C-alpha cells in the first residue's frame, strides 16, 4: 500500500503517518526528517537544505526528489510506504508518478488532513520534536510523559526553528501556493480522501483506517 499524506504544515501528517506505519508495517518516510537528520550530522545536503528550511521555504525540487526516489527504491519499501511531506509541489508529484508508472505501480491513497489556518499557528507553537528519533509531541494535546523528554529515546525535546510563529506564516503561504494544488492533482487520479484533522488524533486515525480498509 502506497500512501501520501497531504495537508498544511502542522496538520498532523507526521502524527498520523507514524500510526499508519505501525499498524500496516510499512516504512514512514518524511523528507523533513531526512533533512533534519542531515542538518544534525552536518552534511553538505543538510547545510544546503537548512538555508531554505529556516526561512519557511521549500528545499529545491532537484535536491528533494533524488533523496526521495533513492529512499523508496530500498528493500524495505517493496510492500509500500507512507510518505509524509512529499510531494510538496506539482513537479515532485509528477516525478514520483512517472517513476512509479515505470514500475507498473501507482499511489493508492492521498490522505488530505484538513485543518484551517487559524488552528495551525497554535499547533506549531506547541509542537515539540525529538531530533534524535523523530517523535513529535504537543505541549497541550499530546504531552510526553516527562516534560521536555522524549518517551521513546529519552533525548531532550525542542521547538523546531521553523515552528516559530513568523516562519509558520511563511510556511502556510508556501503551502497554499505550491502544495495545495496537489489536492486537485490527486483528486483527478481518483485517490484523494479528505479527513477532518481538527478532531482528536485517535478519531482522525480511525477515519483514516476506515478509508484504508
Kindly state the cell numbers that stand for 123.
Answer: 499547533
Kindly state the cell numbers that stand for 65.
Answer: 526528489
The answer to whether residues 1 and 26 touch, using CB atoms and an 8 Å cutoff, is yes
The answer to whether residues 58 and 35 touch, using CB atoms and an 8 Å cutoff, is no
x/- track of binding to ligand AMP for residues 61-100 (CB under 6 A): ---x--------------------xxxx---x--------
Among 2, 28, 88, 138, binds ligand ADP (CB under 6 A): 138
Among 32, 82, 186, 197, binds ligand AMP (CB under 6 A): 32
Q: How many CA atoms lie within 13 A of 56 on its CB side?
A: 20
Does residue 124 interact with ligand AMP by CB under 6 A?
no
Continuous segment of H or E residues that includes residue 5: strand 2-6
* Number of amino acids touching ligand AMP (CB under 6 A): 18
Torsion of Cα atoms, 55 then 57 then 59 then 61, to 10°: -160
Among 37, 48, 52, 198, binds ligand AMP (CB under 6 A): 52
Backbone angles phi, psi at 168, to 5 degrees: -60, -40
Among 3, 11, 29, 58, binds ligand AMP (CB under 6 A): 58
Task: State the binding partner of 185 from ligand ADP, ligand AMP, none, CB within 5 to 8 A by kind.
Answer: none
Assess whether 71 carries a catalytic annotation.
no
Assess whether 123 carries a catalytic annotation.
no
Task: State the binding partner of 2 from ligand AMP, ligand ADP, none, CB within 5 to 8 A by kind.
Answer: none
Q: Which residues are catalytic?
A: 13, 88, 127, 160, 171
Amino acid at each position: 500500500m502506497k500512501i501520501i499524506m497531504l495537508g498544511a504544515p502542522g496538520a498532523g501528517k507526521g502524527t498520523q503517518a507514524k500510526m499508519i506505519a505501525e499498524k500496516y508495517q510499512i516504512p514512514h518516510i518524511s523528507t523533513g526528517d531526512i533533512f533534519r537528520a542531515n542538518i544534525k550530522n552536518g552534511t553538505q545536503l543538510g547545510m544546503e537544505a537548512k538555508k531554505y528550511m529556516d526561512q519557511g521555504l521549500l528545499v529545491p525540487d532537484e535536491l528533494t526528489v533524488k533523496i526521495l526516489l533513492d529512499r523508496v527504491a530500498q528493500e524495505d519499501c517493496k510492500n509500500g510506504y507512507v510518505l509524509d511531506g512529499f510531494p510538496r509541489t506539482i513537479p515532485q508529484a509528477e516525478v514520483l508518478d512517472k517513476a512509479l508508472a515505470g514500475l507498473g505501480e501507482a499511489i493508492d491513497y492521498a490522505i488530505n488532513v484538513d485543518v484551517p489556518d487559524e488552528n495551525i499557528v497554535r499547533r506549531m507553537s506547541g509542537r515539540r520534536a525529538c531530533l534524535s528519533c523523530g517523535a513529535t509531541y504537543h505541549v497541550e494535546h499530546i504531552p510526553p510523559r516527562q516534560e521536555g523528554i522524549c518517551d521513546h529515546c529519552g533525548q531532550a525535546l525542542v521547538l523546531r526553528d521553523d515552528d516559530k510563529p513568523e516562519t509558520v506564516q511563511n510556511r502556510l503561504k508556501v503551502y497554499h501556493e505550491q502544495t495545495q494544488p496537489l489536492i486537485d492533482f490527486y483528486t483527478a487520479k481518483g485517490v484523494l480522501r479528505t479527513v477532518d484533522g481538527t478532531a482528536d488524533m485517535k478519531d482522525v486515525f480511525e477515519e483514516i483506517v476506515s478509508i484504508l480498509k
